[in-house]
């Protein structure tokens, strides 16, 4: 097993929510001598310095300043990804008590493939806001880590049509079972007890929370030769991991930056999302002069990294026959004439050239002309900053399922190309 895949599995297992993903990325950046800059403070940024900042605890920007000269001369090599994944979130007043079962009502976050959420050993994690003993408002993260919730399927005997077109009513079919009790549960009390085990503060009362459910099955290498990686949240923690690994290890003498935004799965329109001003505000602080900043954009490039749909052998007709990426056959350039992806021939050709230098094969994806195309933070960031952009990603199966699948070789290959990109003299 490669060291990198072992490390990636640890990253995925820790990153159960966008909050935990950002915490894990911050830990890794701290270890690599990146300095945290609070958005609320004034910043002092030095040549050759390594920095990061966060917003909402769920989005992060990390960057390396050029060793010589200024950013408007060197430009920035940027990689973008997203920290969020479709999931189920606990409602604000979630407690349901029926037939002595304690249940929680859940909300669907993003485009969840719902069927695979049944019969899984689920746990819960997220951010909690509480009052401490002196009445101060504080925030902390919790992760129960143990299996403690489940959505059992209805037996086929009670639904003979289940294998035909099984539809799921998100309001009535998804409340999770937490356990049994004579009395109605108080979910805030459950959270309070958990928070006490995870945080040193004195905790008086839970006021609010953002808690999601996740699968406790650990990420795994699988396949006859361990050629696949299976896990939850591969879309898009894989790209966060690859971008972070490349930024930390790249021989970057010029400016390099990684942005990982929350809320991509729900349209990116939020204070911490790609359609919000986080990245542009960071860049305004690095280069306050407007004319210099525009010059910097003109010398910069963004690679938006988000997974692509591999061609599924059982459903081959869902792809254009000439544009069906194969898992483990290399990263995929995503192209859409209608700008659902931001790639153009200039950015795509640079990527092809870099990949060739490190002997990485490249594939291309175009959606079938009779089907609608997905999108990424690529076009949003390109439009927001006016910077040339490329959309790429590793091919995967089962996107937005609770268990997704990608190829081990592709992950190593794309990281190599991103490292080379971060080290470029000019783009
Ligand atoms: Zn994605």
Ligand 1 centre distance from Cα of residue 285 (Å): 28
- Least confident stretch, 9-18, 111-120, 251-260: 251-260
Ligand 1 centre distance from Cα of residue 353 (Å): 25
CB atoms within 10 A of CB 29: 21
Instruction: Give residue 202's region: left, alpha or beta (phi > 0; psi -120 to 50).
Output: beta
* Percent of the chain predicted with pLDDT > 70: 100
CA–CA distance, 275 with 306 (Å, rounded to integer): 16
Q: Report how far apart, in Å, the C-alpha atoms of 391 and of each of 161, 190, 229, 308, 339 are.
A: 41, 42, 22, 10, 10
**Phi and psi, residue 271, nearest 5°:** -60, -35
Ligand 1 centre distance from Cα of residue 194 (Å): 30
Ligand 1 centre distance from Cα of residue 211 (Å): 20
At 321-371, the pLDDT tens digits run 999 999 999 999 999 999 999 999 999 999 999 999 999 999 999 999 999
Ligand 1 centre distance from Cα of residue 240 (Å): 11
Whether 144 contacts 216, CB under 8 Å: no
Ligand 1 centre distance from Cα of residue 169 (Å): 24
Ligand 1 centre distance from Cα of residue 377 (Å): 9
Residue-range domains of the chain with CATH = 2-85+232-422 (3.40.630.10), 87-215 (2.30.250.10)
Ligand 1 centre distance from Cα of residue 277 (Å): 20
Helix (H) or strand (E) holding 276: none
Ligand 1 centre distance from Cα of residue 307 (Å): 6
At 32-54, the pLDDT tens digits run 999 999 999 999 999 999 999 99
At 372-416, the pLDDT tens digits run 998 888 999 989 999 999 999 999 999 999 999 999 999 999 999
Ligand 1 centre distance from Cα of residue 85 (Å): 7
**Phi and psi, residue 408, nearest 5°:** -60, -40
Whether 404 contacts 396, CB under 8 Å: yes
3-class SS of residue 82? strand
Q: Which of 239, 237, 259 is closest to 63 using CA atoms? A: 259
At 57-82, the pLDDT tens digits run 999 999 999 999 999 999 999 999 99
Residue 301 pLDDT exceeds 70 = yes
pTM of the model: 0.97
Going by pLDDT thresholds of 50, 70 and 90, the confidence category of residue 2 is confident
At 210-242, the pLDDT tens digits run 999 999 999 999 999 999 999 999 999 999 999
Ligand 1 centre distance from Cα of residue 159 (Å): 34
């Amino acid at each position: 097993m490669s060291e990198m895949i072992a490390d990636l599995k640890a990253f995925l297992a820790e990153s159960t929510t966008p909050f935990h993903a950002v915490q894990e990325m911050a830990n890794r950046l701290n270890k690599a001598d990146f300095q945290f800059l609070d958005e609320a403070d004034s910043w002092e940024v030095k040549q050759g310095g390594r920095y990061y900042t966060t917003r909402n605890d769920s989005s992060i920007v990390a960057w390396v300043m050029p060793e010589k000269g200024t950013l408007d001369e060197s430009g920035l090599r940027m990689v973008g990804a997203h920290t969020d994944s479709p999931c189920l979130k606990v409602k604000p007043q979630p407690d349901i008590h029926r037939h002595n079962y304690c249940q929680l009502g859940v909300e669907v976050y993003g485009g969840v493939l719902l069927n695979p959420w049944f019969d899984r050993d689920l746990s819960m994690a997220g951010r909690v806001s509480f009052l401490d003993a002196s009445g101060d408002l504080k925030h902390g993260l919790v992760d129960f880590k143990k299996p403690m919730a489940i959505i059992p399927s209805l037996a086929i005997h009670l639904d003979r049509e289940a294998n035909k077109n099984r539809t799921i009513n998100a309001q009535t079919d998804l409340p999770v079972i937490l356990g049994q009790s004579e009395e109605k549960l108080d979910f805030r009390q459950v959270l309070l007890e958990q928070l006490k085990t995870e945080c040193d503060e004195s905790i008086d009362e839970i006021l609010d929370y953002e808690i999601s459910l996740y699968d406790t099955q650990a990420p795994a290498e699988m396949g006859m030769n361990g050629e696949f990686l299976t896990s939850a949240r591969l879309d898009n923690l894989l790209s966060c991991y690859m971008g972070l690994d490349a930024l930390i290890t790249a021989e970057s003498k010029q400016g390099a930056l990684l942005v990982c935004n929350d809320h991509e799965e729900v349209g990116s329109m939020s204070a911490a999302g790609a359609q919000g001003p986080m990245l542009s505000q960071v860049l305004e602080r690095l280069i306050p002069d407007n004319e210099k900043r525009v010059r910097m954009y003109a010398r910069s490039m963004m690679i938006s990294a988000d997974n692509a749909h591999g061609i599924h052998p059982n459903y081959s007709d869902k792809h254009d026959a000439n544009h069906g990426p194969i898992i483990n056959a290399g990263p995929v350039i995503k192209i859409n004439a209608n700008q659902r992806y931001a790639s153009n021939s200039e950015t795509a050709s640079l990527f092809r050239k870099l990949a060739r230098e490190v002997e990485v094969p490249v594939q291309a994806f175009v959606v079938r002309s009779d089907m609608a195309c997905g999108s990424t933070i690529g076009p949003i960031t390109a439009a927001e900053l006016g910077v040339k952009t490329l959309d790429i990603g590793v091919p995967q199966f089962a996107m937005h399922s609770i268990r997704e699948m990608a190829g081990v070789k592709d992950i190593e290959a794309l990281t190599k190309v991103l490292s080379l990109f971060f080290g470029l003299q000019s783009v």
